[in-house]
Amino acid sequence: DGGITQSPKYLFRKEGQNVTLSCEQNLNHDAMYWYRQDPGQGLRLIYYSQIVNDFQKGDIAEGYSVSREKKESFPLTVTSAQKNPTAFYLCASSGGLAGTPSTDTQYFGPGTRLTVL
Amino acid sequence: AQSVAQPEDQVNVAEGNPLTVKCTYSVSGNPYLFWYVQYPNRGLQFLLKYITGDNLVKGSYGFEAEFNKSQTSFHLKKPSALVSDSALYFCAVRGNAGNNRKLIWGLGTSLAVNP
């Protein structure tokens, strides 16, 4: 799991609540990513950020929001607009200079399992 | 459109036998290819990657993968499987066009190594 931490490990949300998942990295990586993993569906990209103060929607951004105010941190908020948020959420980062293919390896945190009650 | 296919949902092998987990891809330009492993309730761990150069790439835990451009494949292999290799394996690819670092992921292959 390297130098990426995610918290909490388990999170329970009531209907209508917003919750925020934390992701921190000490790898000095420029890019960070949020994925959602559901059984049999692999990894689906929610949001990604290639540099501080900039981020782009991934394939399933609806009902989620992010911020990238610091290089080390990329928190994900699951809003009440996300109709089916129960899933395993993975944060990743990749580093170095933009456009350098050797730095494209993504390193993952240990994940947060979110359950809606 | 870029895509990755892992044609087998599950692979079963006996301990000590060679294993192969298959991956094929479609991408613009030259591909950058990756293999990751995931143990239950854990994040993904990087195994190996192909960027350029030698078609046979060696990675962690005795795994290797062979890049085959004509067949657009990047199969993961290990000469002798261990029970501890049982896990979920993901193949990923990105093209070298532009500055987009997004990876395209396969759906994963569950490997079961039987003692």
Question: Which of B25 and B30 is assigned the larger pLDDT?
Answer: B25
Taking 90 as the threshold, does the pLDDT of residue B80 lie above it? yes
Taking 90 as the threshold, does the pLDDT of residue B92 lie above it? yes
Calculate the alpha carbon distances from A33 to A3, A16, A37, A60, A66 in Å. Answer: 14, 25, 13, 13, 10
Please report residues of A whose CB lies closer than 8 A to that of B42. Answer: 1, 110-111
Is B46 in Cβ contact with A105 (below 8 Å)?
yes
Report the half-sphere exposure of A71 (CA within 13 A, side-chain side). 8
Indicate the SS3 state at residue B104: strand
Looking at residue B70, what is its pLDDT?
Answer: 94
* Nearest by CB: A98 against B41, B99, B105: B99
Rounded percentage of chain B residues whose pLDDT exceeds 70: 94
The mean pLDDT value for B69-92 works out to: 97
Looking at residue A117, what is its pLDDT?
Answer: 85
Taking 70 as the threshold, does the pLDDT of residue B100 lie above it? no
Query: How far apart are the CA of B28 and the nearest CA of chain A, in angstroms?
Result: 15
CA-nearest residue to B90 within chain A is A42
Rounded percentage of chain B residues whose pLDDT exceeds 90: 77
Query: How far apart are the CA of B90 and the nearest CA of chain A, in angstroms?
Result: 8
**Do residues B3 and B95 lie in contact, with contact meaning Cβ atoms separated by under 8 Å?**
no
> Digits of tens for pLDDT over chain A (117 positions)?
459 999 999 999 888 899 999 999 999 998 999 999 998 788 999 999 988 999 999 999 999 999 999 999 999 999 988 889 999 999 999 975 555 555 678 999 999 999 988
The answer, for A31 touching chain B at a CB cutoff of 8 Å, is yes
* Nearest by CB: A45 against B41, B96, B102: B102
Peptide bond before residue A8 is cis, with ω within 30 degrees of 0: yes
CA B63, B67, B68, B74 torsion: positive or negative? positive
Taking 80 as the threshold, does the pLDDT of residue B98 lie above it? no
CA-nearest residue to A101 within chain B is B51
